[in-house]
Structure 1
Amino acid sequence: MDATPRLAASGNCLLGCWLITAPFVFAVAGIARWNDVLVGTAVAVVAGYNYASVRSRRPPSATGAGVVAVLGCWLVVAPFALGFEGPALWNDVVVGTVMASFGGYNAYTATAADRDP
């Protein structure tokens, strides 16, 4: 298995951990805090599972990687839909973009590995 899916999964795991702590760093309260903590926890758990899969020479979970990609897309949209402002807005947009890219790549590699004989 290529090192790139492992890097993408570990990067998403780290981004999920960052999302858990970011509301406290930026002193955000309310719905913005809970959104980041819940999405960050889900991403850290799923990406951690995918990292463990890739580390043991199995393809990442396509469903899990797809969920991470969708959550990354949600992070891009959420600040505008929920009315965030300041650094929390741009943090979610940037982290969501990277997270969706890494999750999409892992979903692609997982489905490509399923098609290989």
Structure 2
Amino acid sequence: MDATTKLTAVGNGALGCWLIAAPFVLGAPAVGRWNDVLVGAAVAAAAGYNYVEDGDRPASATTAGVVAVLGCWLVVAPFALGLAGPALWNDVVCGTLVASFGSYDAYVASAVGRAPAVRATAE
């Protein structure tokens, strides 16, 4: 796993921890609080799984893809759940970052072990 992939996994882990604490800091309503805590815990756990290397195991593309989907849910959730104010914008910004980092990790993990495309040229 390269340094950038590790950095994005650390970023998602930090964002997951922030999502667990944010509803209490920002005073989100109960439904937003539960959403942020559950999604934050899932993001932090998945990011931790992808950060830890187990021998030759590269980062999991499936796990990173799930993190990207959770990030997309965070962008949509405040509108679906009726949040407003700082809780809404916190979820939108964190969701955008989580989805971006997760998408990058999924792309890199799916490219590991794949042979580069070779184009034959006529001489």
Relative to the length of structure 2, the TM-score reads 0.89
Q: State the alpha-carbon separation in 2 of the partners of residues 116 and 5 from structure 1.
A: 19
Q: Quick check: 1:23–1:36 contact (8 Å CA) kept in 2?
A: yes
Q: State the alpha-carbon separation in 1 of the partners of residues 95 and 18 from structure 2.
A: 12
Name the counterpart of 1:98: 97
The structure that is helix-richer by fraction is 1
Q: Which runs of 5+ in 2 are unaligned?
A: 117-123
Name the counterpart of 1:33: 33
Asked whether 1:111 is paired with 2:106, we answer: no
The alpha carbon displacement at 1:58 in A equals 3.6
1:61-84 per-residue CA deviation (whole Å, 9 max, x = no partner) reads 101000000000000000111100
Q: Which runs of 5+ in 1 are unaligned?
A: none
Q: State the alpha-carbon separation in 1 of the partners of residues 4 and 90 from structure 2.
A: 24
Q: When the two structures are aligned, how many residues end up with a matched partner?
A: 116
Q: Quick check: 1:59–1:109 contact (8 Å CA) kept in 2?
A: no
- Percent identity over the alignment is 69
- Give the AA of the match of 1:45: A
Relative to the length of structure 1, the TM-score reads 0.93
Relative to structure 1, is the Cα distance of residues 9 and 115 closer, same or farther in structure 2, using a 3 angstrom cutoff? same
Name the counterpart of 1:2: 2
Name the counterpart of 1:61: 60
- Give the AA of the match of 1:43: V
Rg larger in 1 or in 2?
A: 2
